[in-house]
Structure 1
Amino acid sequence: MSLMQILVFMVVGGMAGWIAGVVIHGGGQGVLLNVLVGILGAFLGGWLFGVMGIGVAGLGGLFLMATIGAVILLALLRLISRR
């Protein structure tokens, strides 16, 4: 992965984390943590999509993949934090 691809992943992941924070009510970890979760979710989504053999194209596909990964990650964090 090139540096430019990593930067795009981080920016798109940050936006996806913000959207995931809105989708998962109570995910409200704050804007900064939601953005961090979005970046991690983008990598999680990329890994999950790769394992399932699903390819994405363009920024729209990357944004969708990152949002799905961020929602999964926020949901897992929400389950863990309730215990």
Structure 2
Amino acid sequence: MGIDSIIVWLLVGAIAGWLAGLIVRGFGFGLIGNIVIGIIGAVVAGWLLPQLGVNLGSGIGRAIINSAIGAVIVLVILSLVRRA
């Protein structure tokens, strides 16, 4: 994996985490937290969406949307765990 791939992962993670933070009110983890949440969200969505038969296209836009969906799922689970 090259440095350019790592930079793309970080950018997609940051954007997805930021979008998820906007969608799920009350969550803002800063730049590093958003990157981590976005990357975890990408892993979750990368596994979950194909299981559901969802295909959102291709390219960087797909990566951001998938990661944001996964990040929202992660944030909702985190909010449920925090309340318990």
The TM-score with structure 2 as length reference comes to: 0.79
Residues 1-83 of structure 1 aligned to structure 2 (within 5 Å): 3-4=1-2, 7=6, 8-28=8-28, 30-31=29-30, 32-55=32-55, 56-83=57-84
**Distance in 2 between the 1:34 and 1:77 partners?**
14
Which amino acid letter does the alignment assign opposite residue 79 of structure 1? L
Checking the alignment, whether the CA contact within 8 Å between 1:16 and 1:38 is kept in structure 2 is yes
- Give the fraction of aligned pairs with identical amino acids, expressed as a percent: 38
Q: 1:34-68 deviations in whole A, cap 9, x for unaligned?
A: 32111100111111123233344011111110000
Residue segments in structure 2 that go unaligned for 5+ positions in a row: none
- Give the aligned length: 80
| CA RMSD of superposed structures (Å) | 2.0
Q: Which runs of 5+ in 1 are unaligned?
A: none
Question: Which whole-Å CA distance do the structure 2 matches of 1:49 and 1:42 have between them?
Answer: 10
CA–CA distance in structure 2, aligned partners of residues 25 and 43 of structure 1: 22
The letter for the 1-side match of 2:50 is: G
Compute the TM-score of the two structures, normalised by the length of structure 1.
0.79
